[in-house]
Copies of this chain bind each other. A is one copy, B any other.
Amino acid sequence: MPDFTVGERFRVTLFGQSHGPAVGCVMEGFPAGFAPDGEKAAAFIARRAPGRNAWSTPRKEDDRPEILSGLNENGQTCGAPITALIRNGNTHSADYAELKDTPRPGHADYTARVKYGAAWDGRGGGQFSARLTAPLCFAGALAKQYLEEKGISVAAHIARIGTVTDAKPDPVQPALPLYAPGAFPVIDPERGEAMKAEIEAARQQGDSIGGAVRCFAAGLPAGLGGPYFGGMEGKLAKALFGIPAVKGVEFGETQACGSANNDAFCVRDGAVRTATNRAGGILGGITNGMPVYFTVSFKPTPSISIPQRSVNLKTMEETPLAVHGRHDPCVVPRAVPVVEAVTAIILLDAWLGK
């Protein structure tokens, strides 16, 4: 039921609004005795920050969190909830003033108003803002570090921008990470250039463009998850659909016929493995020891400067609407670390339950 909490054994609760004093998160259930690498976590969060490159919004966010609880004197997790705080700043609330009564198409403006009434703080999208993915990435960074120590890697790449697709990793033995640190997050840099061109074209038209992120997790033990509503697909999907703009989640790579789709079992390095990995590492809701992978599709960001039609909620009259402000023409590149973060959170959660 909670809107801002994800996970069961490892639970992450987000808080904040886009134009409020701060955003942040509280994590419960992170194992005690782990020393997170703050620099590494900051670098991970920086991957989702806007304003760092040509293909995203010129807004700059300094997302380095202050840790309010959860660490002992030596910087180790001590078993208390870990709380991270990121102050907001550099907000242009005025940009949103005229939107107060006229919901932006494709945004949560209208539905938020139905749910919360007139008191909703719609500036910057309020609690619907992707700004909350900053603390989500911090939580994911810690989960990722912990999993890495257990031999589990999580890595995503842009699968598609518009119609341009990236190369596909080998789903049986993907070479992780999929690209060099700091690079545009694709396997094939040439296709990455084509993607950037698509993004730039959308920007020039005041339009936006969607795409997809593919994520891999390798090194997972067999046996995580469960049948029916305890399946790993459902747990991951529920969390992934929590990321703003996600509209689809697909596991593995299904073939039309059973004979082509079934992954034959084989023995590799003394362990039961599958020869192919159409299943995406999950059978009957439970990890089978093969890499887990899935593709998350994102709608084009609804923030466009092309004039649109909306309704003035006070007068109930249809009205044209032009949205100003600084917006990404494409959220997909910045969504790559967010997908990794959410995946790491859910996998740590599952791992703690084994």
Contact = CB atoms under 8 A, between A and B. Distances in A.
Interface string A85-124: 1000000000000000001011110111011111111010
A306 interface: yes
A72 B128 CA distance: 14
A175 interface: no
B237 A353 contact: no
B108 A286 contact: yes
B68 A22 contact: yes
B116 A78 contact: yes
Residue among A32, A239, A270, A282 with the highest chain B CB neighbour number at 10 A? A32
Interface residues on A, range: 35 or more
Contact of A238 (B15, B83, B238): B238
A291 interface: no
B250 A247 contact: yes
Copies of this chain, tallied across the complex:
4
Contact of A119 (B72, B208, B241, B300): B72
A16 to B, nearest CB: 4
Interface in A1-53: 1-6, 8-9, 11, 13-17, 20-24, 26, 28-29, 32-34
Given A242-B231, A302-B258, A263 B311 contact: no
Interface string A209-234: 11000000000001101111111011
B317 A272 contact: no
A22 B118 CA distance: 33
A79 B6 CA distance: 18
A231 to B, nearest CB: 6
Contact of A288 (B110, B227, B265, B274): B110
Contacts of A287: 111
A83 to B, nearest CB: 4
Contacts of A244: 228, 284
B69 A309 contact: no
B115 A20 contact: no
A322 interface: no
Contact of A11 (B2, B69, B257, B300): B2
Contact of A311 (B81, B225, B267): B267
B78 A121 contact: yes
Given A4-B26, A110-B288, A233-B247, 20 more contacts: A1-B8, A1-B230, A3-B227, A3-B285, A4-B28, A5-B28, A73-B121, A85-B85, A106-B263, A108-B227, A110-B272, A111-B282, A209-B256, A228-B244, A247-B252, A258-B302, A261-B302, A266-B309, A267-B311, A272-B316
Top 8 nearest A-B pairs by Cβ distance? A108-B284, A3-B230, A208-B258, A248-B250, A79-B116, A111-B286, A80-B127, A234-B241
Interface of A: 1-6, 8-9, 11, 13-17, 20-24, 26, 28-29, 32-34, 66-74, 76-83, 85, 103, 105-108, 110-112, 114-121, 123, 126-128, 132, 162-163, 202, 205, 207-210, 222-223, 225-231, 233-235, 237-242, 244, 246-252, 254-259, 261-267, 270, 272, 274-275, 278-280, 282-288, 297, 299-304, 306, 308-311, 313, 316-318, 353
